[in-house]
């Protein structure tokens, strides 16, 4: 009986003290100017620890009640009366660095794709965003990654030969397909396809190999090309092109390349 009464007094006393303390702290925060980022984080962390400690104490009190012969008047609901405040304050604390990087990546991807979606996007602005997103690439070895072995849709490029077809409305569908039959060290296939709006296409294909010294770099050499003019026939043309491209950013939906001709290619995954 004494243990049950003692625990009841402690429980009610703790709740009154903590509620009063939090109320005063809240009132104080509204009267004072907002602290800088570090002081704010420290203050929130201190409050979070206080709430967690209070919940633990109240949980201990609840265990004393349940072990007594007299039934408790009320159980501690949902982890304690301050559990909601604890979760709220936890959400205000700075996110772990991994989450921060993912959020930053998402913002930069959106900004980059929005920029290149505008007609006449300036190269210097695009390069600025690439410089920010490249260090956040989640793939450290893109030339050997399975992520790169897919069909990609070109969203923006500085290559004049491709932009000729786009600017003159000859094509609005340019794709690049990368595939490997064996392991990452074997020679793969690169296929570029420019589909014409009125039928037909220009296709160029060749071999690719991951560079042995640079994990970002893929070496390529075109070996075949064909021009499909629809009802006017299909013709084989001499392939032209040999060089490399560095994939400076790669994830499961975006790829950014810089190549040996100092051109930029920004691609998204074919859905």
What does 115-162 look like in DSSP terms, one character per residue?
A: HHTSTT--HHHHHHHHHHHGGG-S-S-GGG-GGGSSEEEEEEE--HHH
> What percent helix, strand, coil does the chain show, rounded to 5?
45, 25, 30
* 94 token code pair: 């700075």
φ and ψ at residue 244, rounded to 5 degrees: -150, 160
Of the listed ranges 25-34, 66-75, 216-225, the one predicted with least confidence: 66-75
Helices 37-67 and 83-92 pack at an angle, to 10 degrees, of: 160
Structure confidence at residue 23 (pLDDT): 52
Q: What percent of the chain has a predicted confidence (pLDDT) above 90?
A: 56
Cα–Cα distance measured from residue 153 to residue 173, given in angstroms and rounded to the nearest whole number: 7
Predicted confidence (pLDDT) at residue 79 exceeds the cutoff of 50: no
Please name the residues in contact with 224: beta carbons below 8 A apart, sequence gap of 6 or more: 204, 205, 206, 236, 239
Confidence of residue 100 (pLDDT cuts 50, 70, 90): confident
Q: What is the average pLDDT across 176-196?
A: 86
Report the chain's mean pLDDT, rounded to a whole number. Answer: 76
Q: Would you say 251 and 139 are in contact if contact means Cβ atoms under 8 Å apart?
A: yes
Predicted confidence (pLDDT) at residue 4 exceeds the cutoff of 80: no
Q: Is 169 exposed, middle or buried (0-12, 13-18, 19+ CB in 10 A)?
A: exposed
Confidence of residue 179 (pLDDT cuts 50, 70, 90): very high
Please name the residues in contact with 135: beta carbons below 8 A apart, sequence gap of 6 or more: none
- pTM value is 0.65
């Amino acid at each position: 009986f004494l243990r049950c009464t003692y625990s009841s007094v402690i429980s009610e006393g703790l709740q009154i003290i903590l509620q009063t303390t939090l109320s005063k702290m809240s009132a104080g925060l509204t009267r004072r100017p907002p602290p800088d980022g570090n002081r704010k984080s420290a203050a929130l962390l201190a409050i979070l620890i206080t709430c967690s400690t209070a919940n633990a104490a109240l949980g201990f009190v609840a265990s004393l009640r349940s072990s007594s012969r007299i039934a408790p008047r009320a159980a501690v609901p949902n982890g304690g009366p301050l559990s909601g405040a604890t979760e709220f304050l936890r959400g205000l604390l700075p996110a772990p660095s991994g989450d921060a990087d993912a959020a930053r990546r998402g913002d930069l991807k959106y900004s980059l794709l929005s920029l290149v979606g505008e007609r006449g996007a300036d190269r210097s602005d695009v390069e600025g965003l690439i410089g920010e997103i490249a260090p956040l690439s989640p793939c450290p070895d893109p030339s050997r990654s399975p992520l790169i072995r897919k069909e990609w849709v070109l969203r923006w490029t500085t290559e004049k030969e491709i932009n000729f077809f786009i600017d003159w409305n000859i094509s609005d569908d340019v794709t690049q397909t990368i595939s490997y039959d064996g392991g990452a060290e074997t020679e793969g296939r690169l296929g570029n396809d420019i589909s014409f709006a009125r039928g037909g296409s220009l296709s160029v294909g060749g071999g690719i190999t991951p560079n042995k010294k640079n994990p970002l770099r893929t070496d390529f050499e075109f070996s075949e090309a064909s021009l499909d003019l629809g009802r006017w026939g299909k013709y084989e043309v001499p392939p032209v092109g040999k060089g490399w491209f560095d994939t400076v950013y790669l994830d499961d939906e975006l790829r950014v390349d810089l190549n040996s001709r100092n051109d930029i290619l920004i691609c998204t995954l074919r859905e």
